[in-house]
């Protein structure tokens, strides 16, 4: 077989195979097989050394001409296949701009957050400023300054999560009351604040008790503040939150940081005070504790108890929601069941 015949055979086969390459990968494989370092044509060029010297120049020229022809054919085929590939990908990625958009999932504030905002608004109208305090507290603020010294039996009833006992005893606050002392240490009377926030108690959970829940503390200190002011403020709260027909009840209760102390209840809005599952058949729902700030607490923060008096209260935020919206189990609020939470969904502004 002459050199030219061999080259013609390679040429014919190469162009036929390139013509059938349907995608870029096949075309690149073709290039490797014919034009690559170990390709057929390269091997042919290397073999030229075995020819008689007088035949080599012509054979070399013919082989190089074929190489250029095949390279040009490959370049044209590659360009065509790349363009076809781009067209295909563009067609696949095409967006139909006339399709209606997907509805974005819009969240809503948690019912407890909503209730805290509502309570802050109600108290703001009565002149109370909303402030916040730490959830990780020292026993000094959580107990000592509230007239509950370490040897006092009342300390045991708070079911406290203790975080550290090394230097200062560090606890998760069991109530929002430590903010009474923190606030009074920072301001001089007149003081009027409410303090919403999380509290923690190492308690068995049931329909009305969670280990993590929210309270709203209230504190007013000034000259001539009386129990009548406390009753008036809490009655107004019940009126705004539950409606003018609700009745309120104050019964004697004991908290070491008040004198006298009361528990504050509202007649059950679900059953109208007749007795139901939510109010445990009593007709009343306890909202929290309250009272006149104990003189020792005032003294502890440097206030003169002869000059100043004050009232304070601590209300259960989940309890108020349960009562107003007929929720039978406090555990629902932290349960993360979207079917429950969506019932409180509000448009965000
Ligand atoms: C009392 C007098 C004051 O001058 C100021 C504040 C207080 C309240 C006091 N610091 C306190 O924590 N009292 S309390 O233990 O009775 O809790 C108040 C309210 O928090 C309860 O009425 C209830 O509504 C809510 N609460 C308490 N433990 C709870 C709870 N809510 C859900 N789960 C729990 N485990």
User: What's the pLDDT score for residue 261?
Assistant: 98
User: Rounded mean pLDDT of the chain?
Assistant: 92
Q: Taking residues 39-68, report their average pLDDT.
A: 88
Q: Indicate whether residue 142 lines ligand 1 (CB < 6 A).
A: no
Q: Indicate whether residue 196 lines ligand 1 (CB < 6 A).
A: no
User: What's the pLDDT score for residue 348?
Assistant: 56
**Of the residues 288, 313, 327, which should be mutated to test ligand 1's pocket, given the most ligand atoms within 8 Å of the CB?**
288
Give the C-alpha separation, 16 to 311, whole Å: 99
Exposure of 86 by Cβ count < 10 A (0-12 exposed, 13-18 middle, 19+ buried)? Answer: exposed
Q: Whose CA is closest to 130, among 221, 230, 216?
A: 216
Q: Whose CA is closest to 315, among 244, 280, 266?
A: 266
User: What's the pLDDT score for residue 292?
Assistant: 98
pLDDT tens readout for residues 112-141: 999 999 999 999 999 999 999 999 999 999
User: What's the pLDDT score for residue 155?
Assistant: 81
Regarding predicted confidence, which is higher, 306 or 1?
A: 306
For the chain, give the percent of residues with pLDDT over 70: 99
78 is annotated as contributing to ligand binding: no
Judge whether residue 280 has pLDDT over 90: no
Q: Indicate whether residue 44 lines ligand 1 (CB < 6 A).
A: no
- The residues, any chain, with a CB within 8 Å of residue 228's CB and separated by 6 or more, are none
Query: Hey, what CATH topology would domain 111-344 get?
Result: BirA Bifunctional Protein; domain 2 (3.30.930)
For the chain, give the percent of residues with pLDDT over 90: 66
Q: What are the structural domain ranges in the chain?
A: 3-92, 111-344
Highest mean pLDDT among 30-44, 49-63, 160-174, 186-200: 186-200
Please tell me the residue having the least CA distance from ligand 1 atom 34. Answer: 209
Please tell me the residue having the least CA distance from ligand 1 atom 29. Answer: 209
Please tell me the residue having the least CA distance from ligand 1 atom 13. Answer: 289
Q: Is 222 helix (H, G, I), strand (E, B) or coil?
A: strand
Regarding predicted confidence, which is higher, 175 or 269?
A: 175
Q: Give long-range contacts, CB 8 A cutoff, 24+ apart: 74-82.
A: 74/18, 74/27, 74/30, 74/31, 74/35, 77/18, 77/19, 77/21, 77/27, 78/24, 78/27, 78/28, 78/31, 81/21, 81/22, 81/23, 81/24, 81/27, 82/24
Strand 136-138 relative to strand 170-172: parallel, antiparallel, unpaired?
antiparallel
Q: Whose CA is closest to 209, among 67, 76, 123, 333?
A: 333
Q: How confident is the model at residue 347 (pLDDT cuts 50, 70, 90)?
A: low
Q: How confident is the model at residue 47 (pLDDT cuts 50, 70, 90)?
A: confident
Q: Indicate whether residue 284 lines ligand 1 (CB < 6 A).
A: no
Q: Just list the catalytic residues.
A: 158, 175, 201, 215, 258, 312
Q: Taking residues 53-69, report their average pLDDT.
A: 89
Residue 270 and residue 323 in contact, taking contact as beta carbons nearer than 8 Å: yes
What spatial distance separates the first Cα and last Cα of the chain, rounded to whole Å?
88
Please tell me the residue having the least CA distance from ligand 1 atom 12. Answer: 175
User: What's the pLDDT score for residue 25?
Assistant: 92
């Amino acid at each position: 077989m002459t050199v030219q015949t061999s080259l013609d055979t390679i040429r014919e086969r190469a162009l036929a195979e390139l013509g059938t390459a349907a995608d870029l990968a096949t075309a690149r494989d073709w290039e490797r097989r014919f034009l690559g370092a170990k390709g057929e044509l390269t091997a042919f060029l290397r073999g030229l050394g075995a020819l008689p010297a007088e035949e080599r120049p012509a054979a070399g020229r013919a082989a190089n001409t074929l190489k250029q022809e095949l390279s040009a054919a490959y370049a044209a085929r590659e360009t065509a296949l790349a363009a076809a590939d781009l067209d295909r990908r563009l067609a696949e990625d095409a967006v139909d701009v006339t399709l209606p958009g997907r509805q974005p999932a819009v969240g809503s504030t948690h019912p407890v957050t909503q209730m805290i905002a509502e309570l802050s608004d109600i108290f703001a109208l009565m002149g109370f400023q909303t402030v916040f305090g730490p959830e990780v507290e020292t026993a000094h603020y959580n107990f000592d300054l509230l007239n509950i010294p370490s040897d006092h039996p009342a300390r045991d009833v708070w079911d406290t999560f203790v975080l550290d006992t090394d230097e200062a005893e560090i606890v998760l606050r069991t109530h929002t009351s430590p903010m009474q002392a923190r606030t009074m240490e920072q301001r001089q009377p007149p003081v009027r604040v409410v303090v919403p926030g999380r509290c923690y108690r190492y308690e068995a959970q049931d329909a009305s008790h969670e280990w993590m829940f929210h309270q709203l503390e209230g504190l007013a200190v000034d000259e001539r503040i009386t129990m009548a002011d406390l009753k008036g403020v809490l009655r107004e709260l019940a009126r705004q939150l539950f409606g003018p027909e609700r009745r309120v009840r104050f019964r004697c209760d004991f908290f070491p940081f008040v004198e006298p102390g009361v528990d504050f209840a509202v007649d059950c809005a679900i059953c109208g005070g007749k007795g139901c599952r939510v109010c445990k058949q009593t007709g009343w729902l306890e909202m929290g504790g309250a009272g006149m700030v104990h003189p020792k607490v005032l003294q502890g923060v440097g206030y003169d108890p002869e000059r100043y008096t004050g009232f304070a209260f601590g209300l259960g935020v989940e309890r108020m929601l349960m009562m107003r919206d007929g929720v039978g189990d406090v555990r629902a609020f932290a349960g993360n069941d979207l079917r429950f939470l969506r019932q409180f969904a509000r448009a965000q502004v």
